[in-house]
């Protein structure tokens, strides 16, 4: 993993030398780190050691660094401890103390600790010994009176002892910027900035067109600013293309030219199938459905439709999906469009949703794996049966993907760097889980269709 060079101090040093952050600087710090976590989690990574020393500050906003917990040092307070403890004790989530399961909620807990530390100068669980810190993390209710009410409520939610009750990093962003929902399909209108004048040595050179570090931004949750797009379009790790977020029409496109359909009543219709039974890992169920499930050896499973006709460059693929197992923040199921020339030149575009009703568009290839959108909350999502639709259109090195959950269009992206999207299109369905999650994902599918669009 490669991160940019940042000519600025880390937050821990700033707190030691200058004291707590206030006003718009504190707000910008909270937004910037939450947006960075959204991107990190979208890239399939859990940081596991978020703390002030790993947040570098610059006029363009905070940058989260140090993803090398596997190479952590074993000495001294404030350093990562290997062995039974992974993380810095006073920034660790309670679940890491009890069973060491580290997922995105643990990073959200650490975000709450970092924001509280930025406002007060120390973690709300700061202690003189490691055992004391671990006890406080598990049992203490933190004092957050130094935070403004709006920010305090978000930090309190992030510090919930129950990981499943915490918001995701993406869920934090609407509250931080004063939006009711993160409208991830709108055009990005701004960027995270810190006013470091008076706090740091002035930056020697500012690129043409870049804002001066002396310009003080207004508080973030009062700015006409959309963080959801920033998290997806500006902060994604390893993104290889330019993503276009557009104002979206509501309903899916009308289709009359249905190229392929399968209600899975026939368990010999050509799909991959290990065998026919309800709990099969990958195949027909015998009751008119198709299922995919992860296991200890497979974090994801996908199946392409056995289409004999010439596949279209512009298509709408759809299926009804029902989740019966999976961790709410980790499980994914959906439909995909694939363009494959060979084992080294291909791209998948997955339109998928979680059991808790968060949707995304994800791209995967030989050397690429990234989220093209943040995780977007879908109001009224029905875990026990919803229709997922993906519109895929390839035009040279450009691929456009739209995503509907039932009749609600939740996302549309344009990948302008789709050079690996070669070969005949394929369409299918699948399920996935976060690597390391002990709970497997299972999704049942029905009424799969591919329609040719003009």
Domain boundaries, the chain: 11-233, 257-452
Cβ neighbours, 10 Å, residue 180: 7
pTM for this prediction: 0.55
pLDDT at 240: 29
Question: Rounded CA gap, 175 and 171, in Å?
Answer: 8
Biggest distance spanned by C-alpha atoms of the chain = 71
- Tell me phi and psi for residue 426, to 5 degrees: -130, 155
User: Please, what is the Cα angle at 124 between 122 and 125, to 5 degrees?
Assistant: 100
Strand partners, 442: 293, 325
- Given the residues 49, 262, 440, 446, the one annotated as active site: 49
**φ, ψ at 335 (rounded to 5°):** -115, 160
CA separation, residue 183 to residues 170, 171, 334, 361, 438 (Å): 11, 11, 21, 14, 32
**Distance in angstroms (rounded) separating the CA atoms of residues 150 and 154:** 7
Separation CA 279–CA 285 (nearest Å): 7
pLDDT score, position 178: 58
Question: What residues in the chain have per-residue pLDDT under 50?
Answer: 1-6, 68-84, 179-248
Tell me how long the chain is. 454
Neighbours of 380 (CB within 10 A): 9
* The pLDDT of residue 70: 29
Shared fold status for 11-233 and 257-452: no
Burial 364-377 (b: 16+ CB within 10 A, else e): bbeebebbbbbbbb
Active site residue 406: no
Residue 86, pLDDT score: 54
**CATH match of 257-452 with 2.60.120.200:** yes
Q: Which fold has domain 11-233?
A: Transferase(Phosphotransferase); domain 1 (1.10.510)
Give, in degrees to the nearest 5, the angle at Cα 433 between 443 and 278.
30
What region does 308 belong to: left with phi over 0, alpha with psi -120 to 50, or beta? Answer: alpha
Euclidean distance between CA atoms 131 and 90, whole angstroms? 10
Sequence-ordered list of residues with C-beta below 8 angstroms from that of 198, at least 6 positions apart, any chain: none
What is the distance between the alpha carbons of residues 434 and 371, in angstroms, rounded to a whole number? 13
Residue bearing tokens 């040719």: 452
How high is the pLDDT of residue 361?
Answer: 93
CB 433 within 8 A of CB 441: yes
């Amino acid at each position: 993993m490669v991160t940019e060079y940042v000519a600025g101090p880390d937050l821990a040093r700033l707190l030691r030398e200058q004291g707590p952050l206030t006003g718009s600087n504190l707000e910008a710090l909270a937004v910037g780190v939450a947006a960075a976590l959204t991107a990190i989690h979208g890239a399939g990574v859990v940081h596991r050691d978020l703390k002030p020393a790993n947040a570098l500050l610059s006029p363009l906003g905070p940058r989260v660094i140090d993803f090398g917990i596997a190479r952590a040092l074993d000495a001294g307070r404030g350093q990562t401890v290997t062995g039974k403890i992974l993380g810095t004790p006073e920034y660790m989530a309670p679940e890491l103390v009890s069973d060491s399961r580290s997922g995105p909620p643990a990073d959200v807990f650490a975000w709450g600790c970092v924001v509280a530390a930025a406002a007060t100068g120390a973690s709300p669980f700061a202690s003189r010994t490691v055992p004391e810190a671990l006890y406080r993390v598990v049992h203490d209710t933190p004092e957050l009176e130094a935070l403004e009410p709006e920010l305090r409520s978000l930090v309190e939610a992030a510090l919930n002892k129950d990981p499943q009750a915490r918001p995701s990093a993406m869920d934090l962003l609407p509250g931080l910027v004063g939006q009711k929902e993160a409208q991830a399909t709108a055009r990005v209108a701004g960027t995270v900035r810190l006013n470091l004048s008076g706090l740091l040595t002035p930056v020697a050179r500012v690129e043409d067109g870049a804002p001066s570090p002396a310009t003080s931004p207004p508080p973030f949750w009062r700015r006409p600013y959309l963080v959801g797009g920033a998290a997806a379009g500006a902060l994604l790790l390893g993104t290889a293309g330019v993503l276009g977020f557009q104002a979206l029409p509501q309903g899916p496109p009308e289709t009359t030219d249905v190229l392929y359909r399968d209600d899975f009543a026939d368990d010999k219709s050509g799909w991959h199938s290990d065998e026919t039974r309800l709990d099969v890992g990958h195949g027909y169920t015998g009751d008119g459905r198709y299922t995919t499930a992860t296991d200890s050896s497979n974090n994801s499973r996908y199946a392409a439709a056995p289409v004999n006709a010439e596949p279209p460059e512009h298509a709408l693929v759809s299926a009804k999906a029902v989740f019966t197992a999976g961790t709410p923040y980790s499980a994914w199921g959906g439909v995909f469009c694939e363009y494959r020339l060979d084992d080294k030149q291909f791209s998948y575009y997955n339109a998928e949703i979680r059991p808790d009703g968060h949707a995304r568009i994800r791209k995967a290839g030989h050397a690429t794996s990234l989220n093209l959108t943040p995780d977007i909350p879908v109001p009224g999502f029905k875990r026990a049966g919803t229709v997922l639709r993906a519109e895929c259109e390839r035009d040279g090195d450009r691929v456009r993907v739209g995503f509907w959950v039932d009749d609600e269009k939740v996302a549309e992206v344009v990948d302008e760097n789709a050079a690996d999207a070669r070969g005949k299109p394929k369409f299918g369905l699948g399920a996935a889980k976060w690597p390391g999650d002990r709970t497997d994902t299972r999704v049942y599918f029905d009424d799969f269709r591919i329609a040719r669009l003009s």
